[in-house]
Amino acid sequence: MKVDKKGEWLEVEIPTEWDGISIDSILKDRWRGPKKLLHQMRMEKRVQVNGKINTQWTSPLHKRDRLQLRLFIDEEYGVEPEYLPLSVMYEDDHLLIVDKPAGMDTHPNDHNGGTLANAVAFHFQMNGLKTKVRHIHRLDRDTTGGVVFAKHALAGAILDQMLEKRLIKRTYIAFTHGKLNQKKGSIQEKIGRDRHHPSRRRVSPTGETAITHFERVQIYSNPPMSLVRLKLETGRTHQIRVHLSHLGFPIVGDSLYGGQKEGISRQALHAENVSLIHPFTNEEISVAIPWPDDILRLEKGVIHKK
């Protein structure tokens, strides 16, 4: 689909398959825009067709009409811009995918700085973009890898729904203790809070549904470890860490869930790929996130393979 940013406006050329569809149907049904945002866009006259404000959102559009949406408006960042190293893996007018390092929170808690969101705000500021920092999902403080941010409100709403419908695919790798005999499988165990520890989670019959798919990539003998690739079907707090520990194969370095710090000072867990269908262009986006140095050193140090 042909889309183009023109100043504050996004211009969409109506494709053949949208011929006869109304503005209302595109915004509500195709893009699933939230009612509050769409009402605001209507009241502020932020929707045009062929350069003219069109109050009849139910009128049909035709092939090659130009639907124009004023999406790129100035907003407060929501967090303080702060210069921090930032590895941008993918960026366009609508979304940003960055590589979160270990030891960094995704967003501020209790107004603390030094987070990925602060770094993204600074990146936006340096590029002349004034928009709210919208993270679509999070990673634990000591988990590395890809995190998706939206660059305007409609992109944020669409990406949030895509995540909820499992249309944003995230692939992780982890080094675990022990030799995992099962080549592939799924862990379907509910996860809830551990009432004996403020930050731990645990497998609990009264918890929330959690499903993790895994595939064993490699086994190492000295010390006995496994390299596992994982995909989430749900996104519970600490889900991979809890599930692997429950399976009897805690992640190396994950002291909260039974792992030992052997060659790495944090959990050896990395989000190595993010893939999705672009919400506006319909292109397939697949972004590989390189393994960080500490995980590469861990792999190199485990030299005796089975």
All residues at 6 or more sequence positions from 77 whose CB lies less than 8 Å from its CB, including other chains: 121, 124, 125, 130, 131, 132, 133
All residues at 6 or more sequence positions from 296 whose CB lies less than 8 Å from its CB, including other chains: none
What is the per-residue pLDDT for 222? 82
Task: Give the residue-averaged pLDDT of 98-109.
Answer: 95
Domains 3-70 and 170-271+299-305 belong to one CATH topology? no
Indicate the pLDDT class of residue 152, thresholds 50, 70 and 90. Answer: very high
Task: Give the residue-averaged pLDDT of 105-125.
Answer: 92
In this structure, which topology does domain 3-70 adopt according to CATH? 3.10.290
41-50, 188-197, 244-253, range with greatest mean pLDDT: 244-253
Give whole-number Cα distances, 250 to 67, 147, 189, 220, 255, in Å: 52, 24, 15, 15, 9
Backbone angles phi, psi at 78, to 5 degrees: 90, -20
Active site residue 4: no
Indicate the pLDDT class of residue 303, thresholds 50, 70 and 90. Answer: low
Task: Please identify which residue in the block is written with the tokens 């009402």.
Answer: 39
The closest alpha carbon to 200, from 255, 248, 145, belongs to 255
What the block records as the tokens of 284 is: 């397939």
Task: Give the residue-averaged pLDDT of 238-257.
Answer: 96
Residue 262 is classified by DSSP as S
The closest alpha carbon to 14, from 55, 44, 59, belongs to 59
Task: Give the residue-averaged pLDDT of 191-215.
Answer: 93
Which amino acid is residue 71, in one-letter code?
A: L
Please check the confidence at residue 55 and state whether its pLDDT lies above 70. no
Please check the confidence at residue 293 and state whether its pLDDT lies above 80. yes
Pick the catalytic residue from 140, 142, 293, 294.
140
Beta bridge partner(s), residue 202: 192
**Where would I find the H helices in 127-268?**
153-164, 239-247
Beta bridge partner(s), residue 264: none
CATH class of 170-271+299-305: alpha beta
Indicate the pLDDT class of residue 110, thresholds 50, 70 and 90. Answer: confident
Task: Please identify which residue in the block is written with the tokens 């991979």.
Answer: 240
Indicate the pLDDT class of residue 306, thresholds 50, 70 and 90. Answer: very low
Taking the C-alpha atoms of residue 100 and residue 87, their distance in angstroms, rounded to an integer, is 8
Task: Please identify which residue in the block is written with the tokens 């919208």.
Answer: 134
What is the per-residue pLDDT for 304? 46
Q: pTM, whole model, 2 decimals?
A: 0.93
pLDDT tens digits for 276-288? 999 999 899 999 9
Indicate the pLDDT class of residue 1, thresholds 50, 70 and 90. Answer: confident
Indicate the pLDDT class of residue 59, thresholds 50, 70 and 90. Answer: confident
Element (H, E) at 232: strand 224-232
Mean pLDDT for all residues in the chain: 93
Superfamily of domain 74-165: Pseudouridine synthase (3.30.2350.10)
Domains of the chain, by residue range, sit at 3-70, 74-165, 170-271+299-305
